[in-house]
Structure 1
Amino acid sequence: MPVEPLSQKEIEDRLAELPGWAVEDGRLTRSYRLATHFAATAMVIHIAQVQDELDHHSDLTLGYNTVSLSVHTHSAGGAVTEKDFELAHRVTALAPGHGAE
């Protein structure tokens, strides 16, 4: 089943449920700061596991003590879809366990 792009209103409504997330350059984005490089690395591994479970992958960037995500749906022409928000919700749920802010 094809994934449909979300309307601007649908995106705004979903963003209201995800503090810290934004749409930049047509992609759903978020950055987290963590206490240490090791903590950031552990969070990246956890996100990678979730992405494999969802079969939906973001651009995932590891900094010294930061983790950044940027995602859109290739099969929807690079638009933001419900799949992107599903990933964002999963990442938002796991972030506190890593001490991410």
Structure 2
Amino acid sequence: MELATKKCSTYKPGSPPITRKDTVELLKEVPGWSLDNGHLTRTFTFDDSDKSIEFLNDVLAMSTEEGHIPDLALREGKFVDVGYYTYPAGGLTLNDFIMAAKINERRYNE
């Protein structure tokens, strides 16, 4: 499945999350990402705060365009934590993995 080419869909409250089996399968398609307390997460490391902020802005622009905003945290000026979780569904959805794939496609931290 070419996740990075897909578009996010709108999830309404009560829409079901994906199954654990689907989560495990999709996780294989987004190298570098892991599950943390039910959230899809990855930490990116940059040389300085300027590059970290550039990355944050890029992720926010992509996410806003797709309508699926992540949880973000900037630590020590060079670590950016990105977490996806579809709150209206109460779990992970295909949208979370689509966004992770889109970020991976930009080839950050290889």
Q: Which runs of 5+ in 1 are unaligned?
A: none
Amino acid at match of 2:92: V
Q: Normalising to structure 1: TM-score of the pair?
A: 0.87
- TM-superposed CA distance for 1:15, in Å, is 0.8
Total equivalences in the alignment: 97
1:21 aligns with 2:52: no
- TM-superposed CA distance for 1:39, in Å, is 0.8
Q: Say which structure, 1 or 2, has more relative contact order (CA 8 Å, 6+ apart).
A: 2
**Partner deviation per Cα, 1:14-61 (whole Å, 9 max, x = no partner):** 111111101111111100111221111100000000110111111111
When the two chains are superposed, the root-mean-square deviation of aligned CA atoms in Å is 1.5
Q: Which runs of 4+ in 1 moved over 4 A?
A: none
Q: Normalising to structure 2: TM-score of the pair?
A: 0.80
- TM-superposed CA distance for 1:92, in Å, is 1.0
Q: 1:32 aligns with which of 44, 64, 69?
A: 44
- TM-superposed CA distance for 1:91, in Å, is 1.1
Q: 1:54-69, aligned counterparts within 5 Å?
A: 54-63=66-75, 64-69=77-82
Q: Which runs of 5+ in 2 are unaligned?
A: 1-9
Secondary structure, counterpart of 1:68 in structure 2: strand
**Structure that is richer in helix per residue:** 1
